[in-house]
Amino acid sequence: MRKRIGYICVISGVILLINPKMDIELIKTYIINNIHSLWPILLVLIGISLQSKAPKSRKKIKTS
């Protein structure tokens, strides 16, 4: 959950740094246009994130 909030903050900050007086509708069209033209990059990022998250191994508790 914290990672998702961090991603949202980073993306919002970058957009506001590019153009701080940007209108909400302009932001929506900008994002939609970028998604339509750069959708393969999203697949690459999803693949990298899935590979980097290794499953946590459970520790076995020894019972005597």
List of residues 6+ apart from 42 with CB closer than 8 A = 35
Alpha-carbon distances, residue 4 vs 8, 9, 11, 58, 60 (angstroms)? 6, 9, 11, 25, 31
pLDDT for res 59: 67
pTM above threshold 0.75? no
Residue spans of the domains in the chain: they are 2-40
Token reading at 59: 């520790």
57: amino acid identity, one letter: S
pLDDT in tens, 1-23: 778 888 888 888 887 788 777 77
For range 16-32, the mean pLDDT: 81
pLDDT for res 31: 83
